[in-house]
Chains A and B, each alone.
With several copies, the nearest count.
Chain A
């Protein structure tokens, strides 16, 4: 039995999703670390058609100074959508949604950072959604974590995120925009894989407690998959730096 919402077939008769994926299948993911020259750290993360660029600066001086903390660095995060990342042009001024997501992304990243090495400074993360097709906050977290690592900020581990959700009785992983909009529930999750801590958890729509448990499990599996891709991208970046350094020395 196909599942249709607002005239859109979200799950077809064979249980395939609108873009042909199985319920627990991720979209093609591309990750590249160190894509910007001027930022201290940066990463490009593509989850299907969702494309996010993140940059990191710091630790650096804070203005106004009274915001500084005497015992640790403060983390500042801005999540923004490019005006042309969505169907209707978004105004450049941050929306309430962008302000809320900046806050929860910050709080998803903070637990992984060792902030007390740099008192009185700020570490600043900026994530720009270039193209939005669902899951922009989780792609931003995946990119930001890598940009932080690329900037050499001391971390316990990366942070990895995925959105899971529900369409009828189906649990689905890595929701695209259609599924996000017309599905029955959407639940973005971020974890620190190495400590098993959940650092972002949001939900809207409805789920029974049992469906919620299934979502958590599916999310955890997906996160480990993405975590491997993140680590691979970081490794590639380090090899690249090493190569560049060796080339420079051999000059």
Chain B
């Protein structure tokens, strides 16, 4: 059976303090109920990954790397590329994480990010065929939790889209179509073909209160979790309810309304940071100052 996710023990006093604040519409870190923490993106900071991004969401940090390689297509989609999302939530990021195969939580987060990207058709998979039916690009999106101060889902989502948007494919030449031989023209590269920018919003329900972007103390006392993903057209492109509590219909309506209100600004923020932030070793200069 799947083990329970370990929760840290939050003192009864601290819990009551948080609840008292919530009653006044306040949060322990001073935010409003539906404010995101500060979002900071350092894209393309890794040299050996074809795409990468370090995302800070408050004190939560996630590093996402994109690796591309050539692979056989799936038999039912012979002319489409393939992408795989994987999340590694290891002890680096939290005392609650363990070594070993991915926990059910890590698998859940990876699959939510995967579904949002897939439903939004963010990646133009049909432009990833190299030799139709024989060889296609395979894109591995690996999410590493670095510091879990809550809401790894949204941080992972931003990291995944930022890593894809900062990523590239190497230029290749087909040597022998029959035998499926190709050659990489090193140095030359072009962007990963993308057409949408899905984002997620994760809410925590704590007793009768809803908050957006919970930090890890809030996560420790939350009853349930709701993630809504929107594509660039502001259509809902993925939903995931998590944790062992429930939501009322009104909760979900409220969440939906907030999400629709905030989507454009978050999407702009991502695009702007990707445009203006330093890359490569210079990103590390910035990182050291953080």
Contacts and interface: CB of A to CB of B under 8 A. Distances in A.
Interface of A: 30, 32, 36-40, 44, 46, 49, 51, 53, 55, 57, 60, 67, 69, 74-78, 80, 82-89, 92-93, 96-97, 99-100, 102-104, 106-107, 110-111, 122, 124, 126, 128, 130-133, 185, 187, 191-192, 195-209, 212-213, 216
A38 B93 contact: yes
B37 interface: no
Contact of A78 (B4, B99, B101, B247): B99
B48 to A, nearest CB: 6
Contacts of A111: 224, 244-246
A80 B1 CA distance: 11
A198 B241 contact: yes
Nearest to A74: B4
Contacts of A201: 226, 239-241, 247, 252
B231 interface: yes
Interface in B120-141: 120, 140
Contacts of A55: 91-93
B1 A198 contact: no
B241 A122 contact: no
A92 B99 contact: no
B244 A38 contact: no
Contact of B47 (A76, A110, A131): A131
Contact of B284 (A51, A84, A87, A107): A51
Interface of B is mostly: mixed
Chain B CB within 10 Å — which of A37, A49, A67 has the most? A37
Interface in B217-251: 224, 226, 231, 233-249
A83 B140 contact: yes
The 3 closest A-B pairs by CB, nearest first: A84-B65, A197-B246, A76-B1
Contact of A60 (B49, B95, B147, B245): B95
B248 A198 contact: yes
Given A83-B65, A212-B256, A99 B107 contact: yes
B241 A104 contact: yes
Contacts of B238: 203-204
B52 interface: yes
Contacts of A110: 244-245
B239 A84 contact: no
Contact of A57 (B47, B61, B95, B247): B95
B92 A53 contact: yes
Interface stretch (B15-23, B24-32, B111-119): B111-119
A50 to B, nearest CB: 11
Contacts of B111: 96-97, 100
Contacts of A191: 246
A128 B90 contact: yes
5 contacts: A67-B3, A76-B4, A103-B242, A198-B249, A202-B240
B52 A84 contact: yes
A38 B288 contact: no
B130 to A, nearest CB: 17
Nearest to B94: A38
A57 B93 CA distance: 10
B153 to A, nearest CB: 13
Given A39-B92, A49-B47, A74-B4, A82 B63 contact: yes
A200 B237 CA distance: 17
Given A37-B59, A55-B92, A130-B46, A83 B239 contact: no
A126 B235 contact: no
B149 interface: yes
B92 A84 contact: no
B2 A77 contact: yes
A203 B236 contact: yes
A209 B249 CA distance: 14
B120 A206 contact: yes
Contact of B48 (A30, A74, A132, A199): A132
B66 interface: yes
A201 B253 CA distance: 13
Contact of B144 (A82, A187, A212): A82
Given A96-B107, A201-B226, A209-B236, A86 B92 contact: no
Contacts of A46: 284
Nearest to B85: A96
A36 B119 CA distance: 34
Contacts of B102: 92, 96
